[in-house]
Amino acid sequence: MKTIKKSLPFIGLSSAVLLTSPLAAAAEMDMSSMDHSSMDMSDMDHSSMDMSDMDHSSMDMSGMDHSSMDMSGMDHNSMDMSGMQGGEPPADARSPDYSNGVGYGEFGKPVMMGSLPTWGISVDDLGYQFEDDQINFEIEGWYGDDSSRLRLRTEGHAATEDDKEIDSLSSLAYWQPLGVFWNGEAGIAYNTENDKSALMAGIVGTAPYFIETDARAYVYTDGQVQLDLGAEYEWRLDQHWVVIPEAGLTVFSKDDTDNNITKGFNDLEAEVRLTYEMLSRQLSPYVGFSYETALGDTRDLRRQNNEDVDTSSVTAGVKFWF
């Protein structure tokens, strides 16, 4: 009898284990392979089911087929979607210019710098040639923005002795970018040396290895065509000292003996300048050496007129912009 009484607790424990085993197995059942398509749940009342405390983050619904779900009978009128993006902005939304109704004051409404018309003046050369006793100049001014500008340019030289004659080639042109490194120009020009006007078109920009390049063609009223080619490079020695070699070539389409012009290549000009940049690099005094020579038949024509075919000179001057 004592043995039976001592065995009852063990029997009760064993029975509890046997009862909980099926429950644990049911909890671990994989229901992913079950076919729910044949289950009719249309008569079930889900209104009384409280699912607010359910954690849906661990539910994997990637394998579910939603194509057979019929949602045509759903009533969306009671759904509040006012908080979703789109539609009319709320009354307290920010204004498109982010001013929120606050005025701009005395400075006015801000604009992008690229669309703001500005102006500038650049004097690339204003120097004296000691050998020829003349002042060389190359000046350019412009007004506009990054997409289009009106440009006024003049270059030439003025004699400081005798009749103090001024020979210049001036142009008024429309300027527009053609790409990242190149800009196009088109306009009118006037040459005081032959007293003729012309139509002008050109391309200016930066060639490989940072060589500043310009090519301009002038078509005069008498049919003469002049082509000016130029190249310039800035060799920076340090933060202030810069060596600038440059060269220019002039070509004409036909002879004009009255102005000492022959068909083909006429003049080659070369100069090297040592500049010192100061005042935020806006002012650069320089000293240099220039050389000019006649080419082709122009050499013979100048000899016949007792003119020099080769000239060289020490130069000094300044270049600046603002």
The 10s digit of each residue's pLDDT in 222-234 is 999 999 999 999 9
Lowest mean pLDDT among 55-64, 179-188, 214-223: 55-64
> What is the average per-residue pLDDT within 133-149?
94
User: pLDDT tens-digit profile of 5-38?
Assistant: 444 344 444 444 444 444 444 444 445 455 555 5
Would you state the pLDDT for residue 116? 76
Closest CA to 283 of 315, 316, 318, 317: 318
User: pLDDT tens-digit profile of 91-109?
Assistant: 666 666 666 666 677 776 6
What is the SS3 assignment for 275?
strand
Question: 309-314 — which CB contacts under 8 Å span 24+ positions?
Answer: 311/131, 311/132, 312/131, 313/129, 313/130, 313/131, 313/132, 313/289, 314/129, 314/130, 314/131, 314/287, 314/288, 314/289
> What is the average per-residue pLDDT within 112-132?
87
User: pLDDT tens-digit profile of 239-288?
Assistant: 999 999 999 999 999 999 888 899 999 999 999 999 999 998 999 999 99
The b/e string for 169-189 (b: 16+ C-beta within 10 A; e otherwise) is bbbebebeeeeeeebbbebeb
Higher confidence at residue 69 or residue 290?
A: 290
Assess whether pLDDT exceeds 50 at residue 4. no
Would you state the pLDDT for residue 26? 44
Would you state the pLDDT for residue 201? 98
Would you state the pLDDT for residue 87? 67
Listed by start position, the domains of the chain span 117-321
What is the SS3 assignment for 58?
coil
Handedness of CA 287, 247, 240, 281 (dihedral sign): positive
Would you state the pLDDT for residue 70? 65
Contact predicate 168/192, CB 8 Å: yes
Which CATH number does 117-321 carry? 2.40.160.40
